[in-house]
A and B are shown apart, each in its own frame.
Chain A
């Protein structure tokens, strides 16, 4: 079949990656800072101490600047499944559209409504109502994250649906399976904690800056304490939920796990690569060149983490492509060629079904449907050409994953040290640690983006795992058109980012004294 030019598909992928990455610069701070400002306002209402009110109002000002650009970068995503991925939108929209609609109805309106009370309602509603509004902004943002992550989780682990050959699409049959899939709630928890982590790192960094400038010492220390507590909880929970996520990846997306670890040749009792460098000399998936230039491996740990069994077989890229190993359910895995054959059979059966139906040959159609269903699990492979098509970008996935974990480990240590100095020693005079706090901020943002790189690059070529690859998922639009919108968004979002950062920096430099706090 003549698929759309690779260039058009790749521009659409690039555009989605661009717009999603930009959006993801701002959303974590909305959720993380949202939590922290809600905690601070709770302390204000509980203690009556005006210092907590001023602290809250300062962080809310920062929140507002970030929130606006979060919205600006988000709207295009809502529509981009339609504009650039129209086949995807029909083929799986029956399941995928629902979480997006629910996100709009339940979460976005909650955020939008209560944020306006939060900003404009200080002198118009009661203390308790204002506090409730601030918490509802956080709840709304978190709900929004939940529903979009349910949608993304479904891409990775499609469940709760059945294919309907008559309407030529997948149809939802079990909403709860979709909403509470283990991939979904692991992903939601992991992503939520990553947002708390960014918010915490941000608050701690800005507070560190104030201490370095010897300004607003009391405010900075108070903010740092809350930020560090949230941060430590967040990063520890990130490790816990990260393990949960990786476990499900091992079960449901073995190729992604293999890519995360650079594992070409699978083994029993596989070790976890703690640190490693991939060998660029390995050009083909099965050329038997050593995949690593060097690695430090923690023995048996990959089998343990991935399968809860230190001797479990963890399939590598070669095993998954060539097939022949035993799957967790006891069956033998199929090779790429075998899957492609079955995929082509399924696609052909679908075509035959459609033609038979059109010509009124219902008995024939029923037979074709049987063949389709027998082979449907491999439907997406029918669109792939070669073995390489089913392998994601290994270096990008591998390094993103490992760097993300390293940064996570660093932050656990960092926040432990921060809390120690904040509660047991003297933070105010420790300029070295204040510098570290400030300069750690970019690492938090980096780890946050890397997580998404792992999730989304690691799932390539699939828009829906095993069912629909990118090649068959896009819109019928030429590369030039998409390249043009890509450039427009790149320019616009970069301009807005610069605008946002300059405004935020100015607001931070002004400091909470504009809210009535003395230096």
Chain B
């Protein structure tokens, strides 16, 4: 029976999955943040840029689709978060704007800003694109300072007609002052760098870079595990934002997110499997010099882990976008979603996603039959 509630949960699942895919695809950003540290010579840099350059649009498009899909399925989140945490999102978007032109422009003749400028843009996008996204996603668990009054538009409330009102004048920059937010930010950054290293080990036909990348898996994998564990344990033992299914009141519940795992054992099991897969991909790559498929384990694991993490943020009567200043303003699947009509219309559209996935898979395979070497760059008609 397809009820409104089912549709809301289905769309939260889709958003969680998109989130998981996005975090996996952030390996491109991770690689960009290592351009200067991983390479020593210019041709090594070129190889890194070009291997990432064949993938960057997937991450970018997933981010854009993530925004559009959030708008379509949970418009109150879109309006409250983007309109409120203005600076957090603007800086994030700004650095993606920088990325979008950088691959194409950096080595073109007539480039008046020079290749170095664009590579710095890529570096900035690599650093901030991952870190800030982690910080913002952390607020699904830590809360933000906003109020929502749907009646404001009709003159109810005291601060004008705007429904979503951010209460902190820093408009998103204050999120950086929350330690738990920062830990997830660093976790995402180091995960992206770890996955990029795994990607390079898998894709590059270049002995020196491959060896170096393998070391980078360790250098980045360790901090990733540390920050991730800190965030995870801290969140599981902290209070969480629960919703009373009858009264719809939001209240703080001890160890809410741990309870969510326990009450949704399938999600917990998949989460653990995802974590195991990520750790397996990392450890085997570090300890086994011939193992090059770490990215597939770690990638699949990342998608599953992040999806499950986001699921426990919103399912099981949890407020997925909590307000730390006014609990009852917190966003839940019920009070922030689109109408039943829109969610069902969009659900029909979502059936096309496997088609999209299929042609992406086809294209990926068609272009990546063999590893990328410097020879390929020099002989290809089109290289960055």
What is A's interface to B at a CB cutoff of 8 Å?
A: 1-4, 57, 61, 64-65, 67-69, 71-76, 78-79, 81-91, 93-98, 100-106, 108-110, 112-117, 119-125, 129, 164, 167-169, 171-173, 175, 347-348, 350-351, 354-355, 383, 472, 474-477, 481, 485, 488, 492, 495-496, 498-500, 502-507, 510
Please report the C-alpha to C-alpha distance between residue A502 and residue B105 in the assembled complex, in whole angstroms: 10
Stretch in B247-255, B264-272, B286-294, B340-348 touching the partner: B340-348
Please report the C-alpha to C-alpha distance between residue A496 and residue B112 in the assembled complex, in whole angstroms: 10
Please report the C-alpha to C-alpha distance between residue A56 and residue B98 in the assembled complex, in whole angstroms: 28
> Would you list which residues of chain B between 150 and 201 have a CB under 8 Å from chain A?
150-151, 153-156, 159-166, 171
> Using Cβ atoms and an 8 Å threshold, which residues of chain B touch A74?
64
- Please give the distance in Å from B124's CB to the nearest CB on chain A: 12
A75-B93 contact in complex given A1-B161, A69-B101, A112-B60, C-beta closer than 8 Å: yes
Smallest CB gap from B55: residue in A: A116
Tell me if B341 and A500 are in contact (CB < 8 A): no
Tell me if A104 and B75 are in contact (CB < 8 A): no
Stretch in B35-43, B81-89, B226-234, B318-326 touching the partner: B81-89
Q: Chain B, 321-359, contact with A by CB distance < 8 Å: what is the 0/1 string?
A: 000000000000000001101100110011011001001
> Using Cβ atoms and an 8 Å threshold, which residues of chain B touch A117?
363, 366-367
Tell me if A347 and B154 are in contact (CB < 8 A): yes
Decide if B309 is an interface residue (CB 8 Å cutoff).
no
User: Can you add 15 more A-B contacts, CB < 8 Å, to A83-B82, A125-B366, A474-B162?
Assistant: A79-B82, A83-B83, A86-B79, A86-B84, A86-B162, A86-B164, A90-B75, A101-B68, A101-B69, A102-B349, A115-B57, A168-B150, A355-B151, A383-B161, A506-B110
- A472's partner among B68, B72, B161 (CB-CB below 8 A) is B161
Tell me if B381 and A171 are in contact (CB < 8 A): no
Please report the C-alpha to C-alpha distance between residue A86 and residue B349 in the assembled complex, in whole angstroms: 25
Please report the C-alpha to C-alpha distance between residue A88 and residue B153 in the assembled complex, in whole angstroms: 10
Tell me if A112 and B356 are in contact (CB < 8 A): no
A82-B79 contact in complex given A68-B104, A71-B60, A506-B108, C-beta closer than 8 Å: yes
> Using Cβ atoms and an 8 Å threshold, which residues of chain A touch B64?
74-75, 78, 104, 108
User: How many residue pairs at the A-B interface have CB separations less than 8 Å?
Assistant: 299
Please report the C-alpha to C-alpha distance between residue A156 and residue B309 in the assembled complex, in whole angstroms: 41
Task: List 6 interface pairs A-B (beta carbons < 8 Å), by A numbering.
Answer: A65-B108, A78-B67, A94-B342, A114-B363, A347-B154, A499-B112
Please report the C-alpha to C-alpha distance between residue A481 and residue B173 in the assembled complex, in whole angstroms: 12
Q: How large is the interface on B (under 10, 10 to 19, 20 to 34, 35 or more residues)?
A: 35 or more
Tell me if B76 and A90 are in contact (CB < 8 A): yes
Please report the C-alpha to C-alpha distance between residue A169 and residue B151 in the assembled complex, in whole angstroms: 10
Q: Which of B87, B380, B381: most chain A Cβ within 10 A?
A: B381
Tell me if B86 and A81 are in contact (CB < 8 A): no
A503-B97 contact in complex given A78-B64, A90-B75, A103-B68, C-beta closer than 8 Å: no
Tell me if A104 and B65 are in contact (CB < 8 A): yes
Q: Which of A67, A109, A492: most chain B Cβ within 10 A?
A: A109
Smallest CB gap from B379: residue in A: A123
Which label, helix, strand, loop or mixed, suits the secondary structure of the A interface? helix
- Please give the distance in Å from B297's CB to the nearest CB on chain A: 25
Decide if B71 is an interface residue (CB 8 Å cutoff).
yes
Please report the C-alpha to C-alpha distance between residue A495 and residue B105 in the assembled complex, in whole angstroms: 12
- Please give the distance in Å from A421's CB to the nearest CB on chain B: 32
Tell me if B76 and A3 are in contact (CB < 8 A): no
> Would you list which residues of chain B between 68 and 124 have a CB under 8 Å from chain A?
68-69, 71-73, 75-76, 78-84, 86-87, 89-90, 93-94, 96-98, 100-101, 103-105, 108-113
A98-B86 contact in complex given A68-B101, A502-B112, C-beta closer than 8 Å: no
Please report the C-alpha to C-alpha distance between residue A474 and residue B86 in the assembled complex, in whole angstroms: 13
* Smallest CB-CB A-B distances: 6 pairs: A506-B110, A86-B83, A82-B82, A93-B75, A104-B65, A475-B83
Smallest CB gap from B85: residue in A: A83
A68-B110 contact in complex given A106-B356, A115-B57, A476-B159, C-beta closer than 8 Å: no
- A71's partner among B100, B159, B171 (CB-CB below 8 A) is B100
